[in-house]
A and B are shown apart, each in its own frame.
Chain A
Amino acid sequence: MAATLFFQVLVNGLVLGGLYACIAAGFSLVWGVLNIINILHGTFVVIGSYSAYYAYIYLGVHPFISVVLAGIILFIIGYLFQRGIINRVVAAPVLITLSLTFGLDLFLNNSLLVVFSADYLKLNLANPLGVLQFAGIYVPVDRLAAMVLALFLTCLLYWVLEASRIGRAIVAVRMDREAATLMGVNAKHIYAVTFGLGALMAGSAGAMLSVIFPISPIVSTLYLSKAFVICVLGGLGSVAGAMVGGLVLGVVESFGGLIFGPEHAMTISFCLLILLLIFRPTGIMGKKGYE
Chain B
Amino acid sequence: MRKRSKISLVVLCFFVVFAASVFLSVHEVWSADKTIRIGAPLPLTGPLAPEGKKIQQGYNLWAEEVNKKGGINVGGEPYKVEIIYHDYQSKTPRAVQLAEKLITEDKVNFLFSPFGSGATKAASGVSEKYGIPTIASTASSVAVYDQGYKYLFGTFTPNQTLTDPMSKIVKENVPNAKKVAILARNDLFPMAIANVMKKSAEEQGLKVVYFGKYAIGSMDHASALTQIRAANPDFFFATGYVNDLILIRKQMADLGVKPPAVGMVAGPAYKEFVEACGPLSENVLSASWWHPAVRYKGTSVFGPTQKYNQIFEKKYGHVPDYGHASASVAGVMLQLAIEKAGSIDPKKVRDSLASLDAMTFYGPVRFGANGQINSLKPPVFQIQGGTQVVIYPPEIKESEFKLSTK
Contact = CB atoms under 8 A, between A and B. Distances in A.
A122 B277 contact: yes
B254 A222 contact: no
Contacts of B256: 131, 133, 138
A118 B246 contact: no
Interface string A129-173: 001010000101001000000000000000000000000000000
A222 B256 CA distance: 26
B50 A119 contact: yes
Given A216-B243, A218-B47, A119 B218 contact: no
The residue in A16, A110, A122, A261 that gathers the most chain B C-beta atoms within 10 A of its C-beta is A122
A142 B144 CA distance: 43
Given A138-B254, A138-B256, A261-B213, A120 B218 contact: no
Nearest to B254: A140
A8 B49 contact: no
A5 B217 CA distance: 25
B20 to A, nearest CB: 27
Most A-side CB within 10 Å, residue of B214, B220, B227, B230: B220
B243 A131 contact: no
A214 B254 contact: no
B383 to A, nearest CB: 14
Q: Which of B183, B226, B272, B279 has the most CB of A within 10 A?
A: B226
A118 B220 contact: no
Interface string A218-261: 11001001100000000000000000000000000111111001
Interface in B206-254: 212-215, 217-224, 226-227, 230, 242-243, 246-247, 250, 253-254
Interface stretch (A68-76, A262-270, A279-287): A262-270
B218 A266 contact: yes
B319 to A, nearest CB: 14
A39 interface: no
Contacts of A110: 45
A263 B212 CA distance: 8
A141 to B, nearest CB: 9
A120 B250 CA distance: 14
20 contacts: A8-B255, A9-B223, A13-B222, A110-B45, A119-B50, A119-B272, A120-B243, A122-B278, A124-B278, A131-B256, A140-B255, A213-B247, A214-B247, A214-B276, A261-B212, A262-B213, A265-B214, A265-B215, A266-B215, A267-B215
What 8 pairs between A and B have smallest CB-CB spacing?
Answer: A257-B223, A124-B278, A12-B222, A140-B254, A122-B276, A262-B214, A262-B224, A118-B50
Given A119-B50, A214-B243, A258-B223, 12 more contacts: A5-B226, A110-B45, A118-B53, A120-B50, A121-B275, A121-B276, A140-B255, A214-B242, A218-B47, A254-B222, A261-B213, A266-B217
